[in-house]
Amino acid sequence: MNAPLPFSVAPPGSALPALSWVNRFASLGPDFYTRVAPRAVPAPHWVGRNLGLAHDLGLDDEWWAHYDTLQALAGNATLPGVQPLASVYSGHQFGVWAGQLGDGRALLLGERTDAVGLGWEWQLKGSGLTPYSRMGDGRAVLRSSIREYLASEAMHGLGIPTTRALAVVGTPLTVQRETEETGAVVTRVARSFVRFGHFEHFAAREQTELLRRLADYVIEHYYPQAAHAAPPGGNAYAGLLRLVAQRSAELVAQWQAVGFCHGVLNTDNMSILGLTLDYGPFQFMDAFDPAHICNHSDTQGRYAFARQPSVVHWNLFCLGQALLPLIGEQEHALAALEPFRADYPAAYMRLMLAKLGLGRAELDATAARELIDPLLKLMGQDKVDYTVAWRRLSHAVASSTHQPETAAFAPVRDLFIDRPAFDTWLLLFLKHLTHINRAQAAEIMLNANPAVVLRNHLGEEAIRAAQQGDFSVVQGLQDLLAQPFATAADTRSEAGFAPDWASSISISCSS
């Protein structure tokens, strides 16, 4: 770690401009959390700083440059006005009730209001032991922290709801995993970090009044329209369930469309706001494989790529079960969950049609399936790179406005082994394209099919450089992933295929 630090840090002494903090979550009362101070780490240094997010949060360069900022985001000092807490939640892990879990290595610092009046909660992850650490050490390693940092911002760049990442601070502190690694602290930001598991916790303990307090809090601050969304005869809590189901359907449809595998879809990792939450062994797929399992620890493939929509629905049933004492009638909970069966395919179809430059106006559901399913089947069968294929198809449609079709589509065709099958599919696709403006279709496609995603090997390269003290790769990748649809990204090496060694990267729950 002898390389110069990438960011300047002003010396201690001058006062950090005061930020005004609130903590609405804390107003829920002590049954929901324990006050815990972060544990200090030696020699903290910046690994990544998200200047764009900071700007949106009203933080300027001076704030970043301040010594106290680094210390606060390392967990070595507390920002004035902040009273950190670890929240308690429970959950189902791998389909089994796991009982009490909680923020075992995360601390909620508090909430700051942005220029338009929205509250943003800040969390430190990896900041030391809490009463909910169970067998863990309360720490996060540099490797997984860089993955979470980059993935959060990659997801945001793709327009997919997610918790954000403001910074990663590294430390030489030794953290024991399969091997000895060094630690890091990520600062995460979200409107709220409430999980399905928070509801399950109080439901399992039959603490109905606390459950109601939590539901009322979530409705008041995040789902004020809940009462109007209720199924016929249902109350605001049924409406809340309906809205969470809607957002979760939209979220998982976005994951499926972009080829993202979460890896640990336990109910405690499900955000009540429908955000991608808790980046662990996730993967943006290279070769398309519906059965892909990205989590080395998921031996049964419960969280395999193609299972994510039904797992999310299952998780929503856990939430429905937890909310039942408030909803009252089981039929109202079921009525809130049932529309997922239509919401998910509708969202998925809309996104997949956009990937093809088409809309529902051009195709009905059956025609859409007849176009999408065979292409995905062929991609899976021929192990075609998912991101490259869609991006090439987008460019092919653009080129076909001024080039013969055979030449325009050749780069896509080249990706497939079964060329006659691809040709059959292409004929069908071209038939649909005749009804629309091709330049417009290409435009839609180039904004729906990213040139770059955070492939495992890209994260790995950034991690390896950072482990050697070079944080420029993290920064470069973050900048690139912030604009994944930009045509400037097409010429970058990161937009190409994964190298052979990528398939040997093994990612487990250990982080």
Asked if 283 and 292 touch (Cβ cutoff 8 Å), the reply is yes
Identify which of 18, 30, 177 has the alpha carbon closest to the alpha carbon of residue 105. Answer: 177
Place of tokens 């075992």: 104
Apex 222 CA angle, 220 and 224, nearest 5: 50
Q: Residue 248: is it exposed, middle or buried by C-beta count within 10 angstroms (0-12/13-18/19+)? A: buried
Q: Is 264 in the site for ligand AMP (CB under 6 A)?
A: yes
Q: How far is CA 92 from CA 86, 163, 201, 363, in A?
A: 19, 21, 10, 39
Place of tokens 């049932």: 338
Distance CA 109, CA 200 (A): 23
Place of tokens 């109080």: 202
Rounded to the nearest whole angstrom, what is the least distance from the CB of residue 93 to ligand AMP in the complex?
7
Which of Mg ion, ligand AMP, none does 75 bind, CB closer than 5 to 8 A by kind? none
Q: Residue 263: is it exposed, middle or buried by C-beta count within 10 angstroms (0-12/13-18/19+)? A: buried
Rounded to the nearest whole angstrom, what is the least distance from the CB of residue 438 to Mg ion in the complex?
45
Q: Is 278 in the site for ligand AMP (CB under 6 A)?
A: yes
Q: Is 298 in the site for ligand AMP (CB under 6 A)?
A: no
Rounded to the nearest whole angstrom, what is the least distance from the CB of residue 257 to ligand AMP in the complex?
24
Asked if 255 and 346 touch (Cβ cutoff 8 Å), the reply is no
Q: Is 92 in the site for ligand AMP (CB under 6 A)?
A: no
Q: Is 278 in the site for Mg ion (CB under 5 A)?
A: yes
Rounded to the nearest whole angstrom, what is the least distance from the CB of residue 269 to Mg ion in the complex?
4
CA dihedral 382, 388, 393, 398 (to 10 degrees): -160
Distance CA 217, CA 219 (A): 5
Q: Is 102 in the site for ligand AMP (CB under 6 A)?
A: yes
Q: Is 186 in the site for ligand AMP (CB under 6 A)?
A: no
Which of Mg ion, ligand AMP, none does 138 bind, CB closer than 5 to 8 A by kind? ligand AMP
Asked if 147 and 76 touch (Cβ cutoff 8 Å), the reply is no
**What residues from 107 to 146 belong to the interface with ligand AMP (CB under 6 A)?**
132-133, 136-139
Return the number of the residue (25 or 344) whose C-beta is nearest ligand AMP.
25
Return the number of the residue (150 or 396) whose C-beta is nearest Mg ion.
150
Provide the terminal-to-terminal Cα distance of the chain, rounded to the nearest Å: 21
Structure-block tokens of residue 314: 């299952």
Q: How many CA atoms lie within 13 A of 20 on its CB side?
A: 5
Count of chain residues binding ligand AMP (CB under 6 A): 17
User: Given the rule CB under 5 A, which of 21-29, 273-281, 294-302, 401-409 is the region that contacts Mg ion?
Assistant: 273-281
Return the number of the residue (121 or 278) whose C-beta is nearest Mg ion.
278
Return the number of the residue (303 or 340) whose C-beta is nearest ligand AMP.
303
Known catalytic membership, residue 137: no
Choose which of 23, 152, 256, 269 interacts with ligand AMP (CB under 6 A): 269
Choose which of 52, 80, 81, 104 interacts with ligand AMP (CB under 6 A): 104
Distance CA 236, CA 241 (A): 9
Catalytic residue among 268, 278, 298, 385: 268
Q: Is 105 in the site for ligand AMP (CB under 6 A)?
A: yes
**What residues from 232 to 271 belong to the interface with Mg ion (CB under 5 A)?**
269
User: Given the rule CB under 6 A, which of 101-109, 293-301, 323-331, 392-400 is the region that contacts ligand AMP?
Assistant: 101-109
Q: How far is CA 55 from CA 254, 262, 336, 425, in A?
A: 27, 28, 38, 46
User: Given the rule CB under 6 A, which of 6-14, 99-107, 201-209, 460-468 is the region that contacts ligand AMP?
Assistant: 99-107
User: Given the rule CB under 5 A, which of 77-85, 276-284, 291-299, 467-475 is the region that contacts Mg ion?
Assistant: 276-284
Place of tokens 């180039």: 446
Count of chain residues binding Mg ion (CB under 5 A): 2
Which of ligand AMP, Mg ion, none does 101 bind, CB closer than 5 to 8 A by kind? ligand AMP
Residues in the chain: 511
**DSSP string across 208-233:** HHHHHHHHHHHHHHH-TTHHHHPPTT
Return the number of the residue (123 or 256) whose C-beta is nearest Mg ion.
123
Question: Which residues in this chain contact Mg ion in the complex, by CB under 5 A?
Answer: 269, 278
* Residues near ligand AMP, by CB under 6 A: 101-105, 132-133, 136-139, 264, 268-269, 278, 280, 509
Catalytic residue numbers, as ranges: 268
